[in-house]
Amino acid sequence: GQQVMQIPQYQHVQEGEDFTTYCNSSTTLSNIQWYKQRPGGHPVFLIQLVKSGEVKKQKRLTFQFGEAKKNSSLHITATQTTDVGTYFCAGNGGSQGNLIFGKGTKLSVKP
């Protein structure tokens, strides 16, 4: 079945450094979504990418969808302590309409 792999599993950065997490799907995706989960919280939607090669920005966050629609990345510029949490990608393969989550990248930021 459809699998979504995400790396790295953990990332520790100094405040002000950049951060990137990568997501790869075993199958072509119709869309990909990104979520953030704060410690002890629930996943919160950040963005959805639909088009091949699409790039979207939200302030310091840049999201990219690969040309083949099988991979995606999230880049945070100049991390802040408020960026702490786990970032998940979630892919929709389209056949059943369900959303398969990667295992997430846990980001810690040292002030």
Partner 1 sequence: DAGVIQSPRHEVTEMGQEVTLRCKPISGHNSLFWYRQTMMRGLELLIYFNNNVPIDDSGMPEDRFSAKMPNASFSTLKIQPSEPRDSAVYFCASSLQGAVGELFFGEGSRLTVL
Residues forming the site for partner 1 (CB under 8 A): 1, 30-31, 33, 35, 41-45, 48, 88, 90, 92, 96-104
Q: Are 72 and 23 in contact (CB under 8 A)?
A: yes
Residue among 22 and 77 whose Cβ is closer to partner 1: 22
Phi/psi of residue 83, each to 5°?
-85, -5
Closer of 13 and 99 to partner 1 (Cβ): 99
Shortest separation between residue 99's beta carbon and partner 1, angstroms: 4
Length of the chain, please? 111
CA-based nearest residue to 5, from 35, 25, 30, 33: 25
Q: How far is the CB of 37 from partner 1 (least distance, A)?
A: 9
Compute how many other C-beta atoms are within 10 angstroms of the C-beta atom of residue 65: 23
DSSP state of 82: G
Q: Whole-angstrom Cα distance, residue 37 to residue 70? A: 23
- Shortest Å, Cβ 96 to partner 1: 4
Residue placing its CB nearer to partner 1 in the complex, 30 or 81: 30
Q: How far is the CB of 11 from partner 1 (least distance, A)?
A: 16
